[in-house]
Structure 1
Amino acid sequence: MVHQHSSQSRLSPSSDTEDMVMLLAPRLAHFAGVARTEHVTRAAQELQVPQSTLSRAMVRLEQDLGVDLFARHGRTLSLTPAGRTFLGSVERALAEIGRAAEEVRADADPATGKVAFGFLHTMGAETVPGLLQAFRTDHPRIRFSLVQNYGEAMLEKLRAGELDLCLTSPVPDAPGLVARRLDEQKLRLVVPADHRLAGRRRIRLAEAAEETFVTLEPGYGLRRITDHLCEEAGFRPRTAFEGEETETLRGLVAAGLGVALLPPPTVPRPGVVELTITGQRAVREIGVAWLEDRPDTPPVAAFKRFLLSRRGSLLPD
């Protein structure tokens, strides 16, 4: 028997695809259940849906698509060729939705879930591995997706939902974000080993006003701090080289290409001398940031509590 449809209820060929998806999505599981059993009553029992509701849903689905999905034989149904084609795609779509649901539920599992964690390049060699080692003592099965980048790039990923938490500097103060200061690093003026200032242990930054600097690129937190400290000391640094990683800058200093304001190295580097800065507070504050209104999964909440518990002891002395 051919089922008749009202042409007014059909979606026109020019209908927006997104509208079609929103229209069909809630009915796909019901269609798959009816197609699997080929019997509305049995499908209604399995799906725990009133039979009348299911029957109306199938009729409306056919009307919206503008095609017959079922051939009706009394109380039983059989799929038309169009119905079989549609069922194959629906089953793949439902399976993909099921996999996605399993994945997000697994990521939120308190014991085995996942945390997307961003941090500065300078914290990747020692600080972050030590933090993860300590955290996994009590949470041995929680997984991490790790991202190293400069501060602004990580905040962009945070806003885009790609990160749960990030360690960054300076500590951000921006709408929609929550940030907590965790620790600070003293910055030192790093000079070549044969530099005129290399015999000193302490220096006022103003004494380096005539030096050539090597710095991180604009947009990096440490670059902003460098520019601010130099301005505070009464000069604008003359920049010869801009890089993306602090140990590269230290190498440029060792090669005699300039001086730099840098946090302590992971391991001492030959060819440079690191001078303590006096007369102003030359530090880089490190903080943790997250989205203000984003609810935490249990693993993210556990790692956030852990980081906040490390205030003042996040970084090695």
Structure 2
Amino acid sequence: MEDPLTTGVAWLAPRVALLEVLAEESNLTRAAALAGVPQPTASRWLAELADQVGTPVAARAGRGIRLTYAGGLLAEAARRAAGELRQGFRAALAEADPESGHISLAFLHTMGGVRVPELLAGFRAAHPGVRFTLVQGASEELLRRLRTGEADLILTAPLPTGDPGFEMSALALQPLVAVVPKGHPLASRKRVRIAELAKSEFVSLKPGAGVRRIVDDLLGQAGYTPRVSFEGEEADTLRGMVAARLGVTILPESEPLPNPGTVEIPLHPPACREIGLVWSADRPLPPAVRTFRDYAESASGRTPAR
């Protein structure tokens, strides 16, 4: 006699997998192709899911399609389940030979210029058979990927201390600096207090970025609410805005060189952000991932975790 639970899961799995794709892809034809089914089948599956849960799981949005709230709940469950399956499959493959494993590494945009490439180059010199998938994003997005199993490790700041779902290893402290355009009244200063930036408009990273949270805390402690004229997603974009005299900002110091149209001034008192690796406390790390974590710790001068 068939187990109704097993039958139900077998029926549900491919349909919910389609929702996972639709969460990222607003075109049904492309989503169906990515899910490996014809579009008519995808349309039928959406209708069947709506019948099962008693409410639509997707709705038209202009020429595209978007998930409803109910569809989003199912898609998030599918993302978590798929992440667990990917983790288990990769761990099983890598267990036999950690030198040919796969690592999904996610990191902040501000670390993609020098820090991550140098780290990867040093590691691959010793472990050429390990493959990487690299993803960039804001700190909240990186933590979400880690929770769902889409990333094995993230390189981020600030570290999510106090969250029992994560383990972490601090690797470095990176100074924060005031970034002003050349010719700005503060440009010749050797140090600058945050309050001295009060007369200038600010350009800032969008909410959700780790640096944005750190800078907002610093400004709040100084009793200063900035006049934000522009918000961007990447530090290099903000430096370009500063060079165009659209405002000033506070960012991690440039690696390796500042934008030629800007001047970077150390803060007084000094401020910095702590950069580190973070991984899930709920899933064992595959051997190749452990090897990379240990290498990153040793390269930073820390004793590798055991």
For the Cα contact (< 8 Å) 1:113–1:142, is it kept in 2?
yes
Specify which of 89, 104, 113 is matched with residue 116 of structure 1: 104
Residue deviations 1:245-294 (CA, integer Å, cap 9, x gap) = 00000000011110000112233311111111112x31111011000021
Equivalent position of 1:194 in the other structure:
183
Pairing of 1:163-174 with structure 2 (within 5 A): 163-173=151-161, 174=163
Q: Percent identity?
A: 46
Aligned residues: 224
Determine helix, strand or coil for the equivalent of 1:141: coil
Change (3 A) 1:308 1:16: same
2:104 is aligned with what amino acid? A
Q: Which amino acid aligns with 2:102?
A: K
Tell me, in whole angstroms, the C-alpha distance in 1 between the residues paired with 2:182 and 2:252: 17
Distance in 2, matches of 1:10 and 1:228, equals 58
Secondary structure of 1:175's counterpart equals coil
User: Once the 2 structures are TM-superposed, how far is the Cα of residue 310 of structure 1 from its aligned partner?
Assistant: 2.7
1:275 corresponds to which letter in structure 2?
Answer: I
Unaligned stretches of 5+ in structure 2? 12-86
Per-residue deviation at 1:297?
1.1
SS at match of 1:215: strand
Task: Tell whether the 8 Å contact from 1:189 to 1:260 is kept in structure 2 after alignment.
Answer: yes
Quote the residue 1:126 is aligned against.
114
Residues 282/16 of structure 1: CA separation in 2 closer, same or farther (3 Å cut):
same
State the match for 2:146 in structure 1.
158
Three-state SS of the structure 2 residue aligned to 1:156 is helix
In structure 2, the CA distance between the partners of 1:101 and 1:265, relative to structure 1 (3 Å rule), is: closer
> Aligned residue for 1:263?
252
Deviation at 1:234, TM superposition (A): 2.1
TM-score by length of 1: 0.66
How far has the Cα of 1:19 moved from its partner? 4.5
Pick from 133, 137, 140 the counterpart of residue 145 of structure 1.
133
Per-residue CA distance 1:76-126 (angstroms, 9 max, x = gap) = xxxxxxxxxxxxxxxxxxxxxxxx998664444311110111111111121
Give the Cα–Cα distance (whole angstroms) in 1 for the partners of residues 166 and 177 of structure 2.
30
C-alpha distance in 2, partners of 1:192/1:228? 24
- Letter in structure 1 aligned against 2:287: P
Q: 1 CA distance for matches of 2:272 and 2:258?
A: 19
The 1:273/1:102 distance shift into structure 2, 3 A limit, reads closer
Aligned to 1:272: 262
Greater Rg, structure 1 or structure 2?
1
Equivalent pair of 1:247/1:265 in contact (CA under 8 Å): no
Structure 1 residues 312 and 305 mapped into 2: Cα distance closer, same or farther (>3 Å)?
A: closer
Aligned residues of 1:189 and 1:276 also touching (Cα < 8 A) = yes
Pick which of 157-166 and 226-235 moved more.
226-235
Please list, as runs of the form range in 1=range in 2, the aligned pairs for 1:1-317 lying within 5 A after superposition.
9=1, 15=4, 18-19=7-8, 21=10, 105-108=92-95, 109-173=97-161, 174-266=163-255, 267-279=257-269, 281-311=270-300
Superposed displacement of residue 312, structure 1: 5.3
Contact 1:183–1:312 at 8 Å: present in 2 too?
A: no
Task: Tell me how far apart the structure 2 counterparts of residues 233 and 208 of structure 1 sit (CA, whole Å).
Answer: 11
Structure 2 counterpart of 1:132, one-letter code: L
Calculate the aligned-residue CA RMSD, in Å.
Answer: 2.3
TM-aligned CA deviation for residue 17 of structure 1: 6.2
Is the 1:187–1:284 Cα contact (8 Å) retained in structure 2? Answer: yes
Output the CA distance in 1 between the equivalents of 2:253 and 2:279: 26
Which residue identity does 1:118 align to in structure 2? A
Residue 158 of structure 1 deviates from its aligned partner by 0.3
* Matching residue's letter, 1:200: R
TM-score by length of 2: 0.68
What is the distance in 2 between the residues matched to 1:278 and 1:206?
A: 10
Distance in 1, Cα, partners of 2:9 & 2:169? 45
